[in-house]
């Protein structure tokens, strides 16, 4: 059986780690570097950082926060996403000590930059983030920066054409992100790309998590809010899962 990952997700906004609810409402938790260090101590296979833009944000990655995190010299692999707009930014993030970068809105605005970034840091260091929701029998992508919803069918060909420039796809169910709802598996029925998937958003149901980990195309399940306040929550869930889970090493597909 292919070994899978149980990942943790941290949302940062205005230099604070926050509880996020559908990327619309936020409750502060504390310093990102402290939250992330705790998750690493608790044995997370991988930490996925979403550094969200707000009115106070600069138009570049939050290098101050990245440096504080990487100064901890954590053994847990980290993926950082947030305002990476060009190859120079991506290289600087990787050189800071982050293993991978996540790219999302770039497919709407300037997909050529994704190729340039991949050429500079390697496709194994890039993941594509798709913010999705399923409604009325159709799958949509959410452009978070421009506050638009776009039918997935309009971008499927482009996403496939860029597949050599990223190693995995993170599917975010933005309707259930941060909630006690359930990740909508209808999303997966619409995505037919030959890339390993990371699932995030509403992953609270143990049976659903276990079922997803048996899917050969799913490499990781990411969970956020429920792991922040109980140091044994991560290990308790990991011990319950029947699939083998390992700390990952990232290679090109």
Domain boundaries, the chain: 5-240
Contact 178, 20 (CB under 8 A): yes
Superfamily of domain 5-240: Aldolase class I (3.20.20.70)
Compute φ and ψ for 147, nearest 5 degrees: 55, 50
CA 122, 196, 193 angle in degrees (round to 5)? Answer: 100
Report the 10 Å Cβ neighbour count for 88. 13
Between CA 66 and CA 123 the distance in angstroms is 21
- pTM for this predicted structure: 0.90
Query: Residue with structure tokens 């990487």?
Result: 70
Q: What is the pLDDT along the chain (253 residues), one digit of tens a residue?
A: 457 899 999 999 999 999 998 888 899 999 999 999 999 998 899 999 999 876 556 688 999 999 999 999 999 999 999 889 899 999 999 999 999 999 988 888 788 899 999 999 999 999 999 999 998 999 999 988 888 999 999 999 999 999 999 999 999 999 989 876 689 999 998 998 899 999 999 888 788 888 888 888 999 999 988 787 666 888 888 888 765 565 454 544 4
């Amino acid at each position: 059986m292919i070994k899978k990952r149980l990942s943790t997700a941290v949302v940062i906004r205005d230099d604070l780690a926050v509880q996020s609810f559908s990327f619309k409402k936020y409750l502060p938790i504390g310093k990102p570097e402290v939250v992330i260090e705790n998750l690493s101590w608790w044995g997370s296979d991988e930490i996925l950082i979403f550094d969200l833009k707000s009115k106070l944000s600069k138009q570049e990655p939050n290098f101050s926060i990245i440096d504080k995190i990487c100064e901890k010299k954590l053994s847990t692999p980290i993926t950082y996403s947030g305002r990476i707009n060009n190859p120079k930014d991506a290289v600087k993030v990787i050189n800071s000590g982050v293993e991978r970068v996540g790219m999302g809105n770039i497919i709407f605005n300037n997909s050529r930059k994704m190729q340039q970034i991949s050429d500079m840091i390697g496709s194994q260091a890039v993941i594509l983030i798709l913010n999705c929701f399923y409604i009325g029998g159709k799958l949509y992508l959410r452009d978070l920066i421009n506050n638009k919803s776009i039918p997935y069918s309009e971008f499927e060909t482009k996403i496939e054409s860029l597949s050599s420039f990223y190693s995995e796809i993170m599917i975010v169910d933005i309707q259930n992100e941060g909630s006690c709802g359930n990740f909508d598996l209808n999303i997966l029925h619409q995505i037919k790309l030959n890339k390993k998937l990371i699932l995030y958003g509403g992953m609270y149901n143990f049976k659903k998590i276990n079922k997803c980990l048996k899917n050969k195309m799913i490499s990781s399940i990411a969970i956020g809010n429920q792991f922040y306040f109980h140091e044994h929550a991560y290990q308790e869930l990991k011990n319950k899962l029947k699939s083998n889970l390992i700390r990952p090493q990232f290679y090109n597909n």
